[in-house]
Amino acid sequence: MGQMMERLTSATMPPPTTPIATTYHVMPDLTKGVGTYNGEKYGTVAKEWLHGIKASGSMHRWSDEVKLETARIHLRGAAKAWHDARDGQLQTWENFEHAFEKTFCRKASTTELWEAMRTRTQRSKEDISTYFHEKYKMCRA
């Protein structure tokens, strides 16, 4: 009778299952380190912005499509209008990078560089180290 009861119990009861653990993976927003670019300042500012996208892309192994989309969503003002006017022509990262450099990364004249360096003064509450290194960077440009 005990064997019969055991067979009936095991036949009607499903085998024990291990619970399935639900795991969620949240991807961080890797574009937070990329600032916006508004197209108002040319030269070094534009070069640094573009370099920031390329550096983030290299570090996070972004495809050219991701770099292009990251650049697009971080454009503001005149730079966004520039992009929107050329949207059909800027379908690849290579095209975007070339057009951006040609438009915004022009080399400043020696006079412009000198004037920017000459007029750069320490801002209120600006750390002396920050001021020094920014001014030094301007001297090296």
Given a contact cutoff of 8 angstroms between Cβ atoms, the answer to whether 30 and 63 are in contact is no
Instruction: Give the model's pLDDT for residue 37.
Output: 95
Domain residues of the chain, as ranges? Answer: 37-107, 108-141
What six digits make up the tokens of 137? Answer: 């960077």
Q: What is the mean pLDDT of the chain?
A: 85
Among the ranges given (22-26, 30-34, 57-61), the one the predictor scored with the smallest mean pLDDT: 22-26
Q: Does residue 75 register a pLDDT over 80?
A: yes
Confidence (pTM): 0.62
The answer for residues whose C-beta is within 8 angstroms of residue 102's C-beta and 6 or more apart is none
